[in-house]
Structure formats: C-alpha cells, structure tokens
Amino acid sequence: MKRIIAIASACALCLALGACSDGGDSSAPEDEPAYEKRSTVEYSVADAVGEYKQGDLSGASYRVAVPADTGDDELKAVFSDVVAGDGYDVHTLWFYSDARLTDGSEAFDVASAVQEAPDSDPVLIPAGEDAKAKAQAALASKGDG
C-alpha cells in the first residue's frame, strides 16, 4: 500500500511541476498570446490580407485604420502589433484615417510602412497632400456610414 501511495504521490508531483510535460512553458496559459501589444492607439485592420513574394521571401500587406494624427513611433508600434506572429517574412501596411477607406478604393492617407527584410524595422512613408485630399473627398461621398 505504501508503494502505491508513493507512486501516486510521485506522479502528482511530476504533473504539478510540469516535469513530465513536453518542455513547453507551463507558467503561461495556452490560450494567451505570447506577444504583448505595443500600440496605445485604437486601430482596425481590414479583413483582406494581400500576399506577395519578394524574391524568396513571403510577404503580407494589410490596410489599417488609425487616427489621422498618429505619430511615427505609434505607427511602428501598430505595425508590430498587426504583423506579430503572422508567419510572413516581410510586410507592407497602408494606414488610413478612417476604416471606410480600408477597402482599397483609395490610396493611403496617413502613411505606409514597408519592411523589406525579415525582422527589420519598417520604413515609414507619410501620405502626400494629394492622397489626403482624395481620401477626404471619398469619405464625403460615402457619407456617415
């Protein structure tokens, strides 16, 4: 009887300590993402993801709505949040001032961010005044919503 209790205790201890696990980190819940959000602004991402090739690298493009006055550091933080763990090597994001513009019918009116090498920082390109004016005209024609 003592032997059965000792074996049962050893098994329970093994399970509690995670010594019998597959080597994963048992301290974090499995349903919790490993990435911690960096951005502090509200943003929304269009459902459609564009896929492309850049040589041997796989790329993804996203259309993202952010506040029109979002600064460069915050745009880079949103970029990091959007692309985190997506499995693509390089990325292009187009930032729009309104979610209604993320359908792709207009050019970006805030900025674009292009990452040309895996794990590199994106290069931000601010939208020109012409693109901003066209986007505002498009929003006016779309109405309130």
To which residue do tokens 């900025």 refer?
Answer: 111
Rounded distance between C-alpha atoms, residue 29 and residue 35, angstroms: 13
To which residue do tokens 């459902």 refer?
Answer: 47
**Residues 85-98: tens digit of each pLDDT:** 999 999 999 999 99
Residue of 108, 75, 106 whose CA lies nearest to 94: 108
What pLDDT does residue 50 have? 96
Residue 72's alpha-carbon distances to 83, 130, 133, in angstroms, are 17, 20, 21
Amino acid at 79: F
Average confidence score pLDDT of the chain: 83
To which residue do tokens 């959007």 refer?
Answer: 82
Give the distance from CA 128 to its chain's centroid.
25
3-state secondary structure at position 126: strand
What pLDDT does residue 69 have? 96
3-state secondary structure at position 51: strand
Whether pLDDT at 104 is above 90: no
Residue 56 DSSP symbol: T
**Residues 29-46: tens digit of each pLDDT:** 555 557 789 999 999 999
